[in-house]
Amino acid sequence: MDIKPGSRWKSAVCSAELVVVRPPSSVGLLACGGAEVVPHGSESAAGGDVHPDFAEGVLIGKRYTDEQTGLEVLVAKPGKGSLSFDRRPMTLKDAKPLPASD
C-alpha cells in the first residue's frame, strides 16, 4: 500500500472516503471498519460487515491521526467504520486554539 499525500481512499465495508494529508513515517496497513481501504477509483463496491472493534464511525471534514507514525487523513465522506493503521485505532485530531486578540 503506497500512502502518499493527496492520495484518495475508500472503505471496503462502509461509505467512508478519505484523503491522506500527511503520510506515515513507516510502511503499514490503513484500514476502515477493520478492512483494508482501497484506492478511490477502484471498482470494488462496499460489501461485508464493519468489524465490531472498529465501528465507531468517522465524521466528514474531520482529521484523524496515528500518533506513532504521524499519518494524518481527512475524511471526505462519513462512514460507520472507524480508521486504524496497523490495527492501532486512529484518533480524532483536536482543533488548534486560536490566539487571543486582546
Going from the C-alpha of 21 to that of each of 53, 66, 93, the distances in angstroms are 25, 12, 12
- For residue 100, the model assigns a pLDDT of 80
What's the rounded Cα separation, in Å, for the pair 69 and 78?
23
| pLDDT for the residue 46 | 57
**Residue matched to cell numbers 499519518:** 71
Residues of the chain falling short of pLDDT 70: 43-47, 102
pLDDT at residue 41, rounded to an integer: 80
CA 52 vs. chain centroid, Å, equals 17
Number of H helices, E strands in the chain: 0, 10
Residues forming beta bridges with residue 88, ordered by sequence position: 85
Q: State pTM to two decimals.
A: 0.86
